[in-house]
Amino acid sequence: MSTAVETVLPDIEAVDQPLETEMTLSMGPQHPSTHGVLRLDLRLDGELVTKAIPDIGYLHTGMEKLFEYKKYQQGIVITDRMDYLNPLGNNLAYVMAAEKLLQLEIPERAQVVRVLMCELQRIASHMVWLGTHCLDIGAMSVFFYCFRQREKILNLIEAASGGRMTPSYFRIGGLMMDLPAGFDRRVNQFLDDFPEALSTFDTLLTGNRIWQSRTKDIGYISKEDAISWGVTGPCLRASGVELDLRRHNPYTGYEIYDFDIPVETGGDVWARYLVRLRELTESYKIVRQAMERLKPGPIKADAPKVVLPDRDDMRKHMDSLIHHFLIVAEGFNVPPGEVYHAIEASKGELGVYMRSNGGPKPDRVHFRGPSFVNLSALPLMCEGEMIADVVAIIGSLDIVLGEIDR
């Protein structure tokens, strides 16, 4: 029996007419690397992306419409569901916009707790970014290490608020409730372990040649383009712009904290990775400082018509009981006016445009989501890159579709 392989001669016609190399590829909306329901219409020339058109709206939740039908305090739970990796940041932007309209002064302890929780949340959000970004590129173990750290933070958030993904911890005028007993011990425990985890990520990735080749010189956006496209947060800082609203438009007392603003000039996926990795250290520093600043004191503003009274007060004073009833049943009236309040969320500038016409429900609430704006610059970063790099670029933007299709 012969074992010789039969030689197949090439079809002469096929050689003369090369294969069609241009094609359209619809990536998503269920592709795991599109981080939610994002569809990308990719025009390819072989493996090269010649055009990328993002198609959003598959999730559209109509939250901005919903705000107009809810009382101010009911809106807080809606914000949790926008950027579900950074719900405390969303809570903060929303309640601060309402507090600006009401011109409320927030007690110092509440401000320190807000900073503390927001920075913990930023670390948790960056952990999901790093884990899923690595998973997109093919590094699986980092994903597990990141989620282990995130789990510890979610346990802390759960201890403080009762919720893990939807804490609704900040209230207009202060906090939902004070931190539980032993919270500082648990935070310190986390802080003691975290530097080792950071060093693990650094060791696994920064010096890794495969990681470097998959991220360097990919998805480039220049400083001028980034500003024109409204890109903010770590993506903007990776293009060489030193802008951090915690420093340049300080809120919640960020001006008294000592931290650096990591800036890179590469403008590529690698630079965005480096900026976020260094931001983790800065957030860690802020959490440490917030722990030192945490002193006993009130956690709610002195505004009985806006802030729910304490349980004990309700048992003793009729006024408190009436205020509680009115706030829960009818809400509170907010003076007419309009504000735009922006905070530095984990993904960039999270702005809330809020307008009141004097009633208990807002007239208009608009969220300027950083993911929405950063994603709009994706075609610029993708064109001319290989298709395998598209997932790396999406990962480097750290998008959350809940914030895009809000």
Q: Which positions touch other proteins (CB under 8 A)? A: 56-57, 60, 62, 64-66, 68-69, 100-101, 103, 225, 227-230, 232, 241, 243, 248-249, 337-340, 342, 349, 351, 353, 355, 363-364, 366, 368, 372-373, 376-377, 405
| Bridge partners of residue 364, in order along the sequence | 355
Nearer to other proteins, 245 or 294 (CB): 245
Nearer to other proteins, 153 or 352 (CB): 352
Q: Contact 237/263 with Cβ under 8 angstroms?
A: yes
365 in the Ramachandran plot: left (φ > 0), alpha (ψ -120 to 50) or beta?
beta
Q: How near is the Cβ of 366 to other proteins at its closest, in Å? A: 4
Q: How near is the Cβ of 56 to other proteins at its closest, in Å? A: 7
Contacts of 7 (CB under 8 A, 6+ apart): none
Quote the CA–CA distance of 362 and 126 in Å, as a whole number: 32
Nearer to other proteins, 248 or 311 (CB): 248
Nearer to other proteins, 225 or 313 (CB): 225
Run of H or E including 43 = strand 39-45
Place of tokens 């690595």: 134
Quote the CA–CA distance of 301 and 366 in Å, as a whole number: 25
Nearer to other proteins, 31 or 355 (CB): 355
Q: How near is the Cβ of 306 to other proteins at its closest, in Å? A: 16
Q: Contact 169/153 with Cβ under 8 angstroms?
A: no
Q: How near is the Cβ of 249 to other proteins at its closest, in Å? A: 6
Q: How near is the Cβ of 387 to other proteins at its closest, in Å? A: 23
Query: What is the residue-wise DSSP string for 55-78?
Result: E--SS---HHHHHTTS-GGGHHHH
Quote the CA–CA distance of 90 and 20 in Å, as a whole number: 48
Run of H or E including 143 = helix 141-161
Nearer to other proteins, 349 or 389 (CB): 349
Q: How near is the Cβ of 170 to other proteins at its closest, in Å? A: 20
Q: How near is the Cβ of 173 to other proteins at its closest, in Å? A: 17
Residue 225 C-beta-side C-alpha neighbours within 13 Å? 16
Nearer to other proteins, 164 or 355 (CB): 355
Q: Contact 387/40 with Cβ under 8 angstroms?
A: no
Q: Contact 370/403 with Cβ under 8 angstroms?
A: yes
